[in-house]
């Protein structure tokens, strides 16, 4: 059985007396327990009171984080004609129609976000088996299928993040970097929780946020008080 290193064990000691913490303290702790030598990504892992096996309990959406993700994201755009020119003017580098669909089918996956105009979704839909499992399939609910392609590109560059509940009812999503200031990271976390709460399906019953954790790239996760995490979204 693998043994944890000294840094990891020291980080665990910081959490021994704080099983459940409020979000503000959670932000401080997740930075303290990060043991990477680089600015690690901070992720929110939230278990929701939904059963995603039922279509009316699926949770998904997107939000522009106030302070971005701290990561440069690679974008491809499925567009043609005037919208292709609009995308290029907005800063996108990889743009195309049927040619780009074929390129992805042949194995090109060197990107983080895929955007598309509605008129090309007939062709892009063929990529469902490739992009769907990777969470890259353009979707109107996530704001990645739109004719306002320039705005979508700006939103992604500014820090828009998509979220979607997995089959176990859990959302895994980045909310910033350990190099962010406490207030900036807390504001990002608040924006993400607010978006998740707004996406609550009407069919969901009982407690919505059942558990919430903040986790650094390397290091133990910090367990947030789910009630206080839910309240943070309304502040």
- Cα separation of 197 and 208, whole Å? 8
Q: What is the pLDDT of residues 114-125, one digit of tens each?
A: 999 999 999 999
CATH number listed for the domain at residues 6-68+161-232? 3.30.190.20
- Average model confidence (pLDDT) for the chain? 89
Q: What is the pLDDT of residues 34-92, one digit of tens each?
A: 888 888 899 999 999 999 999 999 998 989 999 988 888 899 999 999 999 999 999 88
DSSP state of 145: B
Domain segments of the chain as ranges:
6-68+161-232, 75-158
* Per-residue model confidence (pLDDT) at position 111: 93
CATH level 3 topology of 75-158:
Rossmann fold (3.40.50)
Which H/E stretch holds residue 44?
strand 41-48
Percentage with pLDDT > 70 across the chain = 91
Q: Is the pLDDT of residue 149 over 80?
A: yes
- Phi then psi for residue 137, to 5 deg, are -70, 125
- Cα separation of 132 and 82, whole Å? 27
Q: Is the pLDDT of residue 11 over 60?
A: no
How much of the chain is helix, strand and coil, in % rounded to 5?
40, 20, 40
Q: In the structure encoding, which two tokens stand for residue 129, read together?
A: 């088996």
pTM for the model stands at 0.74
> Between β-strands 94-96 and 75-78, what pairing exists: parallel, antiparallel or unpaired?
parallel
């Amino acid at each position: 059985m693998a043994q944890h290193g000294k840094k990891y064990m020291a980080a665990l000691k910081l959490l021994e007396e704080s099983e459940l913490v409020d979000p503000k303290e959670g932000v401080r702790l997740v930075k303290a327990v990060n043991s990477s030598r680089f600015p690690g990504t901070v992720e929110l892992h939230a278990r929701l009171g939904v059963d995603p096996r039922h279509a009316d309990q699926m949770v998904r959406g997107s939000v522009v984080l106030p302070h971005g993700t701290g990561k440069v994201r690679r974008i491809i755009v499925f567009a043609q004609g005037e919208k292709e020119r609009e995308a290029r003017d907005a800063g996108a580098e990889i743009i195309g129609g049927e040619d780009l669909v074929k390129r992805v089918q042949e194995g090109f996956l060197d990107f983080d976000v895929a955007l598309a105009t509605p008129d090309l979704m007939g062709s892009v839909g063929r990529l469902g088996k490739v992009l769907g499992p990777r969470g890259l399939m353009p979707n109107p609910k996530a704001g990645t299928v739109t004719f306002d392609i320039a705005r979508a590109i700006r939103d992604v560059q500014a820090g828009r993040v998509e979220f979607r509940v997995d089959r176990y009812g859990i959302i895994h999503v980045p909310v910033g970097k350990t190099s962010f200031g406490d207030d900036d990271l807390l504001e990002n976390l608040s924006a993400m929780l607010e978006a998740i709460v707004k996406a609550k399906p009407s069919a969901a019953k009982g407690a919505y946020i059942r558990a919430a954790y903040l986790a650094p790239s390397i290091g133990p996760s910090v367990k947030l008080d789910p009630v206080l995490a839910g309240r943070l979204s309304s502040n």
